[in-house]
Structure 1
Amino acid sequence: MEALVEGELESGTGLNQEVGIKRPSDTRWGSHFSSLLNIKNIYSSICEVLEDLGRDNSDRDRKAEAIRILRSLKSFDFVFCLHLMVDILGITNHLNTTLQRKDQDIVNAMNQVSSSKRVIQEIRDVGWEPLLGNITLFCDKHDVRIVDMEHEYYDGFSRRRGSQDGNVNNLHHYHVDVFKAVIDMQLQELNHRFNEANMKLLLCIACLCLHESFKAFDLDKLMEMATLYREDFPTEYDLQVLEVELKNYIKDVREDERFNQLKSIGELSKKMVEAQKHIIYPKVYLLLKLALILPVATASVERAFSAMKLIKTDVRNKMGDQFLSDSLVSYIEKIVLDSFNNNTIVKLYQAIRSRRVQL
């Protein structure tokens, strides 16, 4: 209400809805970004609630816990880490959301990965001063004591000793030990999961995409992909044969109407077998098989494994494999099941066998 009166917020339909502390996601694909962002947005309200609990004398344990949490929230260390993680997780959360889209193609996905790496690196290079400025404004607004960056860093228990040159001050701790260390860990994780070789291989596989009459087809990249599988294409002769087959193959499938409605590489390989083209282009078919056997775990697979602990609990731990599979399909494919009405399901079960009563 105070923000509306002072003009800091605008009123209107769908604006300024009530916000709570978001529960973290149960899956590994989830991010804590939304949780931290909500804490940042309702920081003052959280502090007010904790202050009220700290004055409650009816429950001493709850009072002591509230005072302890409030002391942590009102510390510069917490505010600094909160702002830093909101900035970093904001980038990776967008990347996670992009990669989980079912209609996302490999080229756009890899471009998004490269873009996220560049943005994080830019924060490391020139993001310190803007971050510190935002933290200072936040601390002034919420009455959080700002530490002197030139003073010796104190972690609350003992003063940390640095190198032989002297003690570590607050500037070195927050700028080097926290800010740069966290960003370097994030970049290292992204580089490990999406290294140059993996990204190059995925971009080469994207050239097999069927959309818009094989628009993404690139002979040079597919030949580069073949060179990564030396056991399957061991000699220069094999590579030359593959190049000739690829040139003939792309003209053939573009003119064949049977290949117009396909949507995936898996469907393409099946159609090649049905049309006996895997015999005509054996090297191309081998390249398709190599693309299909890559160990790729999608977000849907991750959600399926996460759903198991919700379906097969300690109380229901003796269910058979078939019942577990049926339950998982019903739980995961909620959108599909919503398209069926209850009457259709009742009629289906009624028709399975004769019953004493009408369902």
Structure 2
Amino acid sequence: MLQCISQDIVNAIDAVSNTKEIIQKFRENGWSGLLEKVKRFCEQRDIEIPDMNGVRRSSRGRAPNNPVTWEHHYRVDIFYGTIDCILQELGFRFNEDAIELLKLSSSLDPRRGYELFSIDDICKLVEKYYPADFSSQDKLHLKYQLELYELDIRKSAHFQHVETLPELCQLLSKTGKSAIYYLVDRLIRLILTLPVSTATSERAFSAMKIVKTRLRNKMEDDFLSSSLIMFIEREIAQSFDVDSIIDEFDLMKTRRSQLKIGCK
């Protein structure tokens, strides 16, 4: 659910908080239940189960200096270790700055009669997270625009049934108010790019691990960039015709060998 591109900002905040809480509860109380399920699975398939109270030996067959039981190994080293890695990853991806960005962005959320609307939070959002997108003059005018914008949207019947930021952005454009509140419209559009930009970055880093492997560690930047584009946008790349690629490549410059049959 956290990776849904269409996830709205308010629900995203709740989803992050609830996910962390569920994982933490599972860490504290989930071991016994998980162990019983694993035992039943092994018994049904005749898989040998080690004595959980027995001492676990090292891979070399000798007892370690500080011997631990099999139960300690599976519970602490694997179960707790895995969950701690997940919680650490969530904390890294959704750190305090990211959560604050989401909370401040929710100030423009139109649901429930714009109850989350806050001029101070919106100005703080621009000042802290979008300083390059608004000039000093824009930041001064933004507060006055927001005061007029708040009165306008609360009185206008057109804006009373809007539920999402995309709908709000479309309605501002449709009614022509995007030209009046151009700074507010710009900020809404910037917020709407958050899920897309995040998803694209994550896909790029994931693709890099696949494309640039240990055996390809000397790959040049241009070739890596082109390969990543083809890998990330492979659905679009699959629609390309091989002949059209050859034609385009052939037209780039004159070559010693002919790429197409029948070329003079």
Structure 2 length as normaliser, TM-score? 0.61
User: In the alignment, is the contact (CA less than 8 A) between 2:10 and 2:103 conserved in 1?
Assistant: yes
1:253 is matched with 153
What letter corresponds to residue 100 of structure 1 in structure 2?
C
Which of 123, 128, 133 is 1:228 aligned to? Answer: 128
1:158 is matched with 60
User: In the alignment, is the contact (CA less than 8 A) between 2:57 and 2:67 conserved in 1?
Assistant: no
Pairwise CA distance, 1:262: 6.5
User: In the alignment, is the contact (CA less than 8 A) between 1:160 and 1:168 conserved in 2?
Assistant: no
Which of 297, 307, 314 is 2:199 aligned to? Answer: 297
User: In the alignment, is the contact (CA less than 8 A) between 1:249 and 1:281 conserved in 2?
Assistant: yes
Alpha-carbon separation, structure 2, partners of 1:161 and 1:285: 67
1:107 is matched with 10
Structure 2 segments unaligned to the other structure (5+ residues): 205-230, 246-264
User: Given the alignment of the two structures, is residue 242 of structure 1 paired with residue 166 of structure 2, yes or no?
Assistant: no
State the SS of the aligned residue for 2:56: coil
Alpha-carbon separation, structure 2, partners of 1:153 and 1:242: 65
Q: Residues 265 and 115 (structure 1 numbering): CA distance in 2 closer, same or farther, change over 3 Å? A: closer
User: Given the alignment of the two structures, is residue 318 of structure 1 paired with residue 242 of structure 2, yes or no?
Assistant: yes
Pairwise CA distance, 1:202: 2.2
User: Given the alignment of the two structures, is residue 129 of structure 1 paired with residue 32 of structure 2, yes or no?
Assistant: yes
2:77 is matched with 177
User: In the alignment, is the contact (CA less than 8 A) between 2:57 and 2:63 conserved in 1?
Assistant: no
Alpha-carbon separation, structure 2, partners of 1:273 and 1:310: 30
State the SS of the aligned residue for 1:228: helix
Pairwise CA distance, 1:212: 5.6
1:144 is matched with 47
Which of 197, 200, 205 is 2:97 aligned to? Answer: 197
Pairwise CA distance, 1:277: 4.4
The alignment's C-alpha RMSD in Å is: 4.1
1:120 is matched with 23
Instruction: Give percent identity, aligned residues only.
Output: 32
Alpha-carbon separation, structure 2, partners of 1:234 and 1:320: 45
Cα deviation 1:299-324 (Å, max 9, x = unaligned): xx99xx778359728xx761659xxx
Q: Residues 208 and 180 (structure 1 numbering): CA distance in 2 closer, same or farther, change over 3 Å? A: same
Pairwise CA distance, 1:194: 2.2
What letter corresponds to residue 92 of structure 2 in structure 1?
H
User: Given the alignment of the two structures, is residue 186 of structure 1 paired with residue 86 of structure 2, yes or no?
Assistant: yes
Matches within 5 A, 1:3-152: 95=1, 99-100=3-4, 102=6, 104-152=7-55
Pairwise CA distance, 1:273: 6.0
Alpha-carbon separation, structure 1, partners of 2:19 and 2:167: 32
Q: Which moved more, 1:216-225 or 1:226-235?
A: 226-235
What letter corresponds to residue 145 of structure 1 in structure 2?
E
What letter corresponds to residue 318 of structure 1 in structure 2?
V
Structure 1 segments unaligned to the other structure (5+ residues): 1-94, 322-359
Alpha-carbon separation, structure 2, partners of 1:271 and 1:149: 63
Q: Residues 244 and 311 (structure 1 numbering): CA distance in 2 closer, same or farther, change over 3 Å? A: closer
Cα deviation 1:128-170 (Å, max 9, x = unaligned): 2232233334444544332112323257x533764xx423431
What letter corresponds to residue 242 of structure 2 in structure 1?
K
Q: Residues 160 and 231 (structure 1 numbering): CA distance in 2 closer, same or farther, change over 3 Å? A: farther
Pick 1 or 2: higher relative contact order, CA cutoff 8 A, min separation 6: 2
1:308 is matched with 234
Alpha-carbon separation, structure 1, partners of 2:79 and 2:53: 17
Alpha-carbon separation, structure 2, partners of 1:265 and 1:279: 17
Aligned length: 215
Q: Residues 268 and 137 (structure 1 numbering): CA distance in 2 closer, same or farther, change over 3 Å? A: closer
Alpha-carbon separation, structure 2, partners of 1:160 and 1:259: 73
